[in-house]
Amino acid sequence: MAEGSITRTKASYVLEIAEKTGIHKRDVSLVVTSFINALTSSLVKNERIELRGLGVLRNKKRRARIARNPRTGEKVKVDERLVPTYKPSSLLKRRINKTG
């Protein structure tokens, strides 16, 4: 993790949004949870999610392979699987690096 960075939680975002909008924390929490559930549901259906200014979430196929158990050295078959990936938008990259 980058030096001086902090970890934010869903609860901290709910509190921030509630304070900025004046909407009750319970209602903001419901919306945030529903949004996360909608994103998760889309990924389960293998749908690509594009959030303008933030980036793209999608599943990427990982091929089947033979791995090794580090404790025993035994070879283990790892099946083909989908893994969620995130690609930040160029706008987000510029804002993080303050070049735009």
Rounded CA separation 91/77 (Å): 40
CB neighbours of 3 closer than 8 A, spacing ≥ 6? none
Q: How confident is the model at residue 5 (pLDDT cuts 50, 70, 90)?
A: confident
Predicted local distance difference test score (pLDDT) of residue 2: 62
pTM: 0.81
**What is the phi/psi pair of residue 97, to 5°?**
-95, 5
| Strand 75-78 with 49-51, pairing | unpaired
96: helix, coil or strand? Answer: helix
pLDDT tens digits, residue range 12-63?
999 999 999 999 999 999 999 999 999 999 999 999 999 999 999 999 999 9
